[in-house]
């Protein structure tokens, strides 16, 4: 059984434990009190950076910025799930392991004096910048980029993607409801076909909004959505018909593919409350969160450079962040048409 590593200081901040509930990750058990552990680790890291690294060190600046950002999130949130969501690096137990490894790495980096200039410098043609490694590829070749214009009034030839994000009163499929919905349509190159998009707020009375859980009451209240919902005159059926009319202007039935982050959840609510929309789109989805999880396991470095999310939790801002996130994965993670080596594999489609 895998056990938590121990940070060997006068006061240990990690535990060795053979007991506890499983987290769902092989060999990693739930930490009984993770928040103080993370605070201790992040503060220890910041202290060590100040003690061992010069202020102008690029390594110190980058680690310090990331650590301060994560420390602020942990200190501002008492709920473990909120910490996991806002930092976005998996379970809190994984964060503890990562923070401990980062702290231990500081000792080696200080010993190696990474801020010193190299005595033996590389030849000019051997030098590179770290930004070159992650430099985005050209979006698409000019001869592959079809003109963004309709054919027979639709954009079906550009394999349109229908980005939808719903804000709900909660995640209980039986008892919660869609209160805001936004839709944007892009082509296969992630270019917006219509920059205005579709947005609508659905009316629910104040009594129903007061029944939301604490997270929804706080975030929908802070964003102003709760007030908009109460003041809206739109019914669920009104919005469903309006959205269907909007989509039909750009995409034929059965052509558009639903996309977003964890968009299977949105689709479940759409199937329940706006079945005309899911019937109009293909049954397939593009889930950007799945791409993120694959990269986190296959090449974790990719996620370290992924676009930062604002987390405004409004439908439109969430969609734009999802599109931007998929553009990032396409540019730095996916291989372009000329970069794939198929080896001896047989071509399946002409």
Task: Give catalytic residue positions.
Answer: 283
DSSP string for residues in 100-115: HHHHHHHHHHHHHTTT
Give residue 50's region: left, alpha or beta (phi > 0; psi -120 to 50).
alpha
DSSP state of 156: G
By the 8 A CB rule, do 200 and 242 touch?
yes
By the 8 A CB rule, do 59 and 114 touch?
yes
Three-state secondary-structure class, residue 167: strand
Going 321 to 322 to 326 to 327, the CA torsion angle's sign is: negative
Q: How many CB atoms within 10 Å of residue 249?
A: 14
H helices of 88-165, in order, are 92-112, 130-133
Q: Quick one: which H or E segment has residue 43? A: helix 34-52
The tally of CA atoms less than 13 A away on the side-chain side of residue 91 is 12
What are the residues facing 181 on neighbouring strands? 166, 200
DSSP string for residues in 226-251: HHHHHH----HHHHHHHHHHHHHHH-
Q: What are the backbone dihedrals phi and psi of residue 307, each rounded to the nearest 5 degrees, phi first?
A: -60, 140
- Cα separation of 207 and 128, whole Å? 61
By the 8 A CB rule, do 257 and 286 touch?
yes
């Amino acid at each position: 059984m895998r056990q938590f590593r121990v940070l060997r200081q006068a006061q240990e901040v990690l535990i060795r434990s053979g007991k506890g509930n499983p987290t769902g990750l092989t060999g990693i058990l739930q930490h009984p009190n993770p928040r103080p552990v993370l605070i201790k680790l992040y503060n220890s890291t910041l202290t060590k950076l100040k003690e061992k690294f010069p202020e102008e060190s690029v390594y110190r600046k980058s680690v310090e910025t990331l650590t301060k950002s994560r420390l602020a999130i942990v200190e501002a949130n008492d709920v473990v799930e909120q910490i996991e969501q806002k930092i976005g690096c998996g379970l809190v137990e994984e964060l503890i392991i990562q923070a401990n490894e980062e702290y231990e790495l500081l000792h080696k980096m200080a010993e190696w004096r990474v801020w010193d200039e190299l005595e033996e410098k590389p030849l000019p043609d051997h030098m590179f910048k770290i930004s070159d490694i992650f430099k985005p590829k050209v979006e698409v070749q000019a001869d592959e980029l079809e003109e963004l214009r309709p054919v027979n009034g639709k954009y079906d030839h550009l394999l349109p993607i229908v980005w939808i994000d719903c804000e709900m009163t909660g995640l209980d499929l039986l008892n919660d409801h869609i209160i805001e919905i936004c839709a944007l349509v892009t082509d296969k190159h992630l270019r917006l076909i219509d920059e205005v998009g579709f947005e609508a707020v659905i009316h629910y009375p104040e009594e129903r909004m007061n029944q939301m859980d604490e997270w929804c009451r706080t975030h929908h209240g802070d964003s102003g959505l709760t007030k908009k919902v109460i003041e809206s005159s739109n019914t669920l059926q009104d919005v469903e018909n309006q959205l269907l009319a909007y989509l039909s202007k750009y995409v034929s039935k059965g052509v558009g593919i639903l996309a977003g982050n964890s968009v299977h959840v949105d689709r479940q609510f759409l199937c329940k409350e706006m079945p005309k929309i899911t019937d109009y789109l293909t049954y397939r989805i593009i889930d950007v969160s799945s791409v993120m999880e694959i990269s986190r396991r296959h090449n974790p470095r990719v996620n370290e450079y992924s676009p930062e999310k604002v987390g405004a939790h409004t439908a439109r801002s969430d969609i734009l962040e999802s599109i931007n996130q998929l553009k990032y994965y396409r540019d730095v993670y996916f291989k372009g048409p000329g970069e794939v080596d198929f080896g001896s594999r047989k071509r399946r489609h002409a």
